[in-house]
Amino acid sequence: MKKQDFTFGIHAVEAVLKHSPERVIEMWVQAGRDDQRLATLLQMAAEYGVSVQTSARKVLDEKSDNGQHQGVLARVKAVKQLNDNDLLALVEKTETPFFLILDGVTDPHNLGACLRNADAAGVHGVIVPRDNSVGLTPTVSKVACGAAEVVPLFQVTNLARTMKSLQDKGVWIVGAAGEADSDLYKTDLKGSLAIAMGAEDKGLRRLTRESCDSIASIPMSGSVSSLNVSVASGICLFEAVRQRLG
């Protein structure tokens, strides 16, 4: 595990300063940038005694790999990786657990967007397999707009075994698949729940699908056969929210 990492983008850096300021080692801001959002970050950094340097945009572009840093970048202590034991400990102390399972999502933009959806829907944690899945990268944190700092990401060794452990704790698992006969909107999504979504191209793997308690599909009226996993996860999560509020 890396001891240090980079976080970039205004929302992502602000979230680290707000929720885990002790993780921030130092910050860089783009020379010549003078706007209110950056000024707020600089004020927060000063309050926590974080060293701030000004740098040319080219330097920030190189450190953030893609230049989507919005003029701010922070070097941070890497977050502790959460595993199966951490997940089950959370289930034990949560009255009505609500999880999102992502089976083999490898695109950091999709994982970041799913974390953002999960935060908005009040999900207690996102579960991914340790192998063949993207973890918490700087790009994931940037796309998540701060959600990566507040939504736990559990990287588990054996996804099917973890799902069985959740079921043993009373968590009902609903998998999303386009060819399912059951309609998402007619599926009971109240109570202790995990929604399982498949990868961008292949959907749920066979073993993951077989480990679900039920399978449901999002009704599709148009000509496209499937939705991006982050869009589909938002639809599924907020249908659960609608039912739970009702």
d(CA 168, CA 165): 5
Q: CA angle, 133 as apex, 127 and 139 as ends, to 5°?
A: 95
d(CA 154, CA 200): 19
Q: Is 25 annotated as a binding residue?
A: no
Residue with the bigger pLDDT between 95 and 146: it is 95
Residue 71's nearest CA partner among 113, 27, 108 is 27
Q: Are 19 and 60 in contact (CB under 8 A)?
A: no
pLDDT at site 86: 97
pLDDT, tens digit (0-9, with 9 covering 90-100), for 35-45: 888 889 999 99
**Where does residue 53 rank: exposed (0-12), middle (13-18), buried (19+ CB within 10 A)?**
exposed
Per-residue pLDDT at 67 exceeds 70: no
Q: Which fold has domain 4-77?
A: 60s Ribosomal Protein L30; Chain: A; (3.30.1330)
The residues, ordered by sequence, that sit 6+ positions from 154 with a Cβ below 8 Å of its Cβ are: 82, 83, 84, 86, 87, 125, 126, 127, 128
Same fold, 4-77 and 84-245: no
Domain ranges of the chain: 4-77, 84-245
CATH for 84-245 (3.90.79.10, 1.10.800.10, 3.30.420.40, 3.40.1280.10): 3.40.1280.10
pLDDT above 70 as % of the chain: 96
pLDDT, tens digit (0-9, with 9 covering 90-100), for 12-66: 999 999 999 999 999 999 988 878 888 899 999 999 999 999 998 888 888 876 6
pLDDT at site 1: 40
pLDDT at site 6: 86
Q: Is 198 annotated as a binding residue?
A: yes
Q: Is 203 annotated as a binding residue?
A: no
31 phi/psi in degrees, rounded to 5: -60, 135
